């Protein structure tokens, strides 16, 4: 009897291992790196904060001490701000020239880098004094998103390209094509560097792609449509797309918002598959 039970148990184990292998085996592109815990995520809401409903959010990042840096777009309304996280209050506001359409923003050392829409011009601001600023030009097709790992600038230009630029010369050091399996993912927008990955808003979707900066592969997807739908259901009909990812590395807090959204959310990822 014991022998039969043992044989059965062994068979079950083999079957389970086979099933896991069949279902869980990663596509070829993912082989050779540690398997991601999950390839699809939903979220749990941790907290919501007020967010300026007039902010056409283009760049978002955590600045320490419960503050965020944010850049906003639209002609005559573009800005760079420092925002108090708990209240959404704008602490520092730099109004950009009317012909500038603000885009992605990132912080490297004490300097904020910002790109602009339909131009190759960008600005570098002192994080403590926004009036101290200089300009730069980059070689991306356009300026959409920016992020940094503390060494290079990651940039997006609305195509499927993810650039790595030298923050001094703006030379393109590396460029990968963002792909999910074999499909290019266009409209790569706001960026955030998190734990070796570049997280990207995909413009006009409620999804964030977690991208490997090594080869551009989308490692996993985060689905956030519920956030926008809840705002619409609450009567906020003027809102635009999900955009803006900020990571508080020290406290492992993840913040997201959208263009003209009255709220900013702290969320935790929940695997769905």
**Which stretches of the chain bind Ca ion, using CB under 5 A?**
60-61, 192, 245
Residue 176 pairs in a beta bridge with: 162
Q: Which is nearer to ligand DDQ, 112 or 140 (CB)?
A: 140
Q: Is 158 among the residues that bind ligand DDQ (CB under 6 A)? A: yes
d(CA 195, CA 211): 11
Residue 57 touches which of ligand DDQ, Ca ion, none (CB < 5 to 8 A by kind)?
A: none
In terms of CB distance, is 60 or 264 closer to Ca ion? Answer: 60
| Single residue of 48, 53, 84, 203 touching ligand DDQ by CB under 6 A | 203
CB of 144 closer than 8 Å to CB of 156: yes
Residue 157 binds which one of ligand DDQ, Ca ion, none, with CB within 5 to 8 A depending on kind? none
List all residues 6 or more positions away from 46 whose beta carbon is below 8 Å from its beta carbon. Answer: 253, 265, 266, 267, 268
Number of Cβ within 10 Å of residue 5's Cβ equals: 9
From the CB of residue 25, how many other CB atoms can be counted at a distance below 10 Å?
11
Angle, alpha carbons 226-58-72 (nearest 5°): 120
Residue 262, SS3? Answer: coil
Smallest distance, ligand DDQ to C-beta of residue 184, A = 17
Q: Which of 69, 117, 130, 180 binds ligand DDQ (CB under 6 A)?
A: 117
Between 190 and 266, CB nearer to ligand DDQ:
190
Instruction: Tell whether residue 155 is a contact of ligand DDQ (CB under 6 A).
Output: no
**Residue 29 has what DSSP assignment?**
G
In the complex with ligand DDQ, the residue whose CB is nearer, 160 or 189, is 189
The contact set with ligand DDQ (CB under 6 A) reads 58, 73, 103, 117, 144, 158, 189, 203
């Amino acid at each position: 009897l014991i022998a039969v039970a043992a044989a059965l148990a062994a068979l079950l184990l083999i079957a389970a291992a086979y099933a896991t292998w069949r279902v869980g085996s990663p596509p070829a592109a993912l082989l050779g790196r540690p398997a991601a815990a999950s390839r699809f995520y939903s979220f749990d809401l941790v907290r919501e904060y007020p967010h300026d409903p007039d902010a056409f959010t283009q760049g978002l990042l955590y600045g320490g001490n419960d503050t965020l840096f944010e850049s906003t777009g639209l002609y005559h309304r573009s800005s760079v701000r420092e925002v108090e996280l708990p209240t959404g209050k704008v602490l520092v506001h730099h109004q950009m020239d009317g012909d500038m359409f603000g885009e992605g923003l990132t912080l490297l050392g004490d300097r904020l880098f910002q790109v602009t829409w339909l131009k190759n011009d960008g600005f570098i601001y002192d994080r403590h004094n926004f009036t101290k600023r200089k300009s730069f030009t980059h070689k991306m097709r356009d300026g959409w998103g920016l992020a940094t790992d503390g060494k290079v600038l990651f940039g997006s230009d609305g195509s499927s390209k993810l650039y790595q630029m030298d923050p001094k010369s703006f030379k393109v050091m590396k460029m990968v094509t963002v792909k999910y399996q074999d499909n290019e993912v266009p409209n790569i927008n706001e960026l955030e560097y998190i734990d070796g990955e570049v997280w990207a808003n995909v413009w006009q979707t409620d999804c964030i792609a977690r991208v490997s900066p090594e080869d551009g592969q989308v490692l996993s997807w985060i689905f956030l449509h519920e956030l926008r739908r809840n705002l619409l259901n609450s009567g906020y009909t003027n809102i635009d797309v999900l955009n803006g990812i900020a990571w508080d590395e020290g406290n492992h807090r993840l913040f997201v918002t959208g263009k003209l959204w009255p709220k900013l959310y702290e969320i935790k990822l929940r695997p769905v598959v």
